[in-house]
Chain A
């Protein structure tokens, strides 16, 4: 029984680590999409900022500068998305695709030119990374059954960005549902003409939303390369941006439900790693690929309206044209 408990706690622990970039990226998407701008470029922004973080951390020897570079690069891409889709009213999907592909190509090209290591960065030393933090009192609580294990293995021992991600969620909820900016943000995604009539700038609001998204995506990217891993490698986000997008839809554009979706998808991923080659009683061996595809399958089933209904912000995907 103790073994089972430990395995469960360790799997949940892994799930937390996997969920962290999903949560940050999904919250980024939440701001963009709540303001009426589809953002399928979460993946590209994460990849570019992961590269920026690792590069800056190697060159300057500081994870904080790495984080800063990541946020900077991600914000530049977010503003590019804004420039194309808000200022020039371009297609939001096309712009997102462009940013994703640009990040995939440019990270390799620049990596090769700067580090000559096949597109990756050198491995980071410990002082160039965000390391895990041991929470105070682990030794004291450790001897309490159950709680001790949970505190030591699950809650303690993560790096600072993990805790940050979990703190960001209530903050996002508060901003979106309890502040004046949040009200305007939601309004601009539902009915931009009304917001315009009230004398507010639709353009400014949407740019602000994208900028916040840029910051969050930057943190997510930095987490992947300089906290969860110790270097940048080719295409290292591996679709996590799209899983975050799926979580955003699965969570129906609401912070806490999105958080649950991210945790669910993170848990599935952690389970997939554990189940590799394991034969379960009754079911037999579960194909790892099936669990890997589960977030996408679940989202499609949800979108099909078979389990609840995901209703996006009303004016999502439509560029705002004043004269209409």
Chain B
């Protein structure tokens, strides 16, 4: 193998793999620190995620959210932007879906409700990303800072709206009235039952297919359209992109709106697919989780599906772990998320110099 193909192997496969292994090793150390056998914990975790049908349902249900937010972060990454505002965009996107459903006449059919709620989620998510994008493109403020601020603004806004405006009449709980049942996105167990296949009940709903469909769309968009090309070109080198007729300001707006729109679909899975009403904090943690998913999946839809599945496993398995072991809680998943962001993101090149030195050293030129 010549040096270039070795370098390719190192950067494409070995380095990401080592990073993930390091993250898991660090998690194992934390398990040992709190007196939990990591192998035992992994067994329980895997059983919780895959051991029974309901567990699998939950795993895929959580993974759906991570696909949406992972794609959102990835699209922004391709444009060279860091969308840390997935939390807020997911939250406001859910509001959009709920508002559309509550506005439509309750006797309407599912064919009106469901496309309407999806459009509502996409639109509101995109709008919540549009303002920071505009400020970055035309007013020179930094997108990371503004999207952080927008996460907090979204959370205050939602508390206000759900408590004071949208709360079900006569109820103390901060949640809206139930959506009309025609608007509910069918559960997977109901769909399977229609075909005569009985599976256990779980929150898993048709959003999973929506998520996979958007993975495909993202792949086509980023690698096979003119706009996708413009986004990647801007992300790699915005100065050079200008010389090929690309307007970076428009690209910032475009990529952030798409990013926000994708994050806005979390509400479809959580609210339209499962809770069937607008509740507070349904989005919690998925926006930040999307960062880990995108980093681990290397901004590619296939990678994102795999990473989202892993996080689904961790979420569902983590719940099982908390149930089985008294001295551990689901927050261990949060720790793993952080370690993955740390080692696959911030420290992603830590091993690179060492790997190159040992596996692909620069050969001495022989002078003849």
Contacts and interface: CB of A to CB of B under 8 A. Distances in A.
Q: Do A and B come from one complex?
A: yes
Contact of B331 (A40, A98, A108): A108
B215 interface: no
Contacts, number: 148
A170 interface: no
Nearest to B352: A88
Contacts of A310: 141
Contacts of B346: 84-85, 88, 90-91, 94-95, 98
Contacts of A109: 30, 34, 328-329, 331-332, 335
A12 interface: no
Given A113-B34, A289-B156, A297-B153, A303 B338 contact: no
Given A88-B349, A109-B331, A290-B160, A102 B338 contact: yes
Interface in A36-62: 38, 40
- Among B35, B152, B291, B327, the most chain A Cβ lie within 10 Å of the Cβ of B152
Contact of B149 (A93, A102, A113, A299): A299
B288 A97 contact: yes
Given A88-B347, A116-B327, A101 B337 contact: yes
B164 interface: yes
Interface in A78-123: 80, 83-85, 88-91, 93-95, 97-102, 104-106, 108-110, 112-113, 116, 119
A312 B142 contact: yes
B349 A112 contact: no
B335 A292 contact: no
A101 B149 contact: no
A133 to B, nearest CB: 33
B182 interface: no
Nearest to B161: A289
Given A88-B349, A90-B347, A305-B141, A95 B342 contact: yes
Contact of B341 (A98, A119, A287): A98
B345 A98 contact: yes
Interface string B329-366: 10111111111011001111110000000000000000
B331 to A, nearest CB: 4
Contacts of B139: 303-305
Contacts of B63: none
A116 B159 CA distance: 31
A245 B335 contact: no
A33 B295 CA distance: 25
B250 interface: no
A249 interface: yes
A97 B338 CA distance: 8
A106 B30 contact: yes
B82 interface: yes
B82 A93 contact: yes
Interface string A222-259: 00000000000000000100100110010000000000
A272 to B, nearest CB: 10
B160 A289 contact: yes
Q: Is the interface of B mostly helix, strand, loop or mixed?
A: helix
A90 B348 CA distance: 7
Contact of B141 (A90, A94, A245, A303): A303
Interface in B112-152: 135, 139-142, 144-146, 148-150, 152
A300 interface: yes
B146 to A, nearest CB: 6
B157 interface: yes
A220 to B, nearest CB: 18
Nearest to A38: B144
Interface in B146-180: 146, 148-150, 152-153, 156-157, 159-160, 164
B92 interface: no
A85 B156 CA distance: 32
Contacts of B339: 98, 102
B309 interface: no
A296 interface: yes
B296 interface: no
A84 B342 contact: yes
Nearest to B152: A296
A84 B348 CA distance: 9
- Among B84, B146, B291, B342, the most chain A Cβ lie within 10 Å of the Cβ of B342
Given A98-B342, A300-B146, A305-B139, A290 B328 contact: no
A110 B34 contact: yes
Given A109-B30, A300-B150, A287 B141 contact: no
- Among A113, A246, A290, the most chain B Cβ lie within 10 Å of the Cβ of A113
B291 to A, nearest CB: 6
30 contacts: A40-B144, A84-B342, A85-B346, A88-B346, A88-B347, A90-B345, A90-B348, A91-B345, A94-B82, A94-B291, A94-B346, A95-B345, A95-B346, A97-B84, A97-B288, A98-B341, A105-B338, A109-B328, A112-B327, A112-B328, A116-B327, A287-B160, A289-B156, A289-B160, A293-B153, A296-B150, A296-B153, A299-B145, A300-B153, A304-B139
Given A91-B82, A109-B30, A239-B152, 14 more contacts: A84-B342, A85-B346, A99-B342, A101-B288, A102-B335, A106-B335, A109-B332, A112-B328, A112-B329, A242-B148, A245-B148, A296-B150, A297-B153, A299-B145
